[in-house]
Amino acid sequence: MSGIERQTGVALWRQIADEIRAAIGNGDHDDTGRLPTEAVLAARFDVNRHTVRQALAALAREGVVETVQGRGTTIVPRRRVTYPISTRTRFSAGLGGQVAQAVTRLVGVSQESATPELAAQLRLAEGAPLLRLETLGEADGVPLSRAVHWFDAERFAGLPDAYRREGSITRALAACGVADYVRQSTEISAAPATASDRADLALQPGAVVLLTRSLNVDAQGHPIQASHSRFAADRVSLSVATEPGSSS
């Protein structure tokens, strides 16, 4: 069972590159961080050595591995940031300690009318005006997530200006009179990265994104913010603590 298939529209060298990248991501390698030789890989995947070389060349271009003549191919170490999901979910604070600098940048502000789904979530009339903020989450200069946030445009008219002043949604909401809010629900799925994901998050073709749809409510339990986030799955994992007292 070599695992790769022909005539699937994906070139063998790319399938092999994807398998090796996934294996590296799962930590399936010995302590040396050394990949098997090209001849061994060619035998394992049941392809010609040329094909393995093409796969390794692609991974080297991505920066996943490094190949040196006479020495072999070694894995370039990389780590995955864990993003906690709890009642207190906030982007920058959640990454604290794992990275030197976590920032969210505002990349777009617009107004649109509520779809049925968003209206129901935010308890507004269908078609009600919504404020739409697009943000890019980065850690140490590496893009981690792209998100779209929707707010009641009437209640939060001053939010974009506040965001530009304060530099975070939490502080911008505080400036708009929301002293506190909690994450009520999060729905998580995953999908292949789209072309715009690849552009915004600097991903390779074949990469995967983690998708979340979440709702934040204020202290009175009234919904204030609906969000759709897209995380680079090879750089982020989500952590859910399900302890009864997790609200503290």
Partner DNA sequence: AGTCATTTGTTCGTATGTATG
Partner DNA sequence: CCATACATACGAACAAATGAC
CA 42 to chain centre: 33
Out of 22, 23, 37, 180, point to the residue binding DNA (CB under 7 A): 37
Question: d(Cα 130, Cα 148) in Å, to the nearest integer?
Answer: 12
Q: Is the dihedral of CA 13, 14, 19, 23 positive or negative?
A: positive
Contact set for a copy of itself, span 125-184 (CB under 8 A): 182-184
Q: Is 187 in the site for a copy of itself (CB under 8 A)?
A: yes
For residue 69, the tally of other CB atoms under 10 A from its CB is: 5
Nearer to DNA, 46 or 126 (CB): 46
Nearer to a copy of itself, 131 or 209 (CB): 209
Distance from CA of residue 104 to its chain's centroid?
13
Residue 52 C-beta: closest distance to DNA, Å:
8
Piece of 62-70, 125-133, 161-169, 229-237 that binds DNA (CB under 7 A) = 62-70
What is the closest distance, in whole angstroms, from the C-beta atom of residue 14 to DNA in the complex? 7
Among 108, 192, 202, 219, binds a copy of itself (CB under 8 A): 192
Residue in the structure block whose two tokens are 């991903």: 203
Q: Is 32 in the site for a copy of itself (CB under 8 A)?
A: no
Residue 186 tokens read as 């999060």
> With contacts defined by CB under 7 A, how many residues of the chain interact with DNA?
27
Residue 114: count of CB within 10 angstroms of its CB: 21
The closest of 58, 59, 20 to 40, measured between CA atoms, is: 20
Q: What is the DSSP letter of 200?
A: H
13 near DNA (CB under 7 A):
yes
Binding interface with DNA (CB under 7 A): 6-9, 11-14, 35, 37-39, 46-48, 50-51, 53-54, 56, 67-73
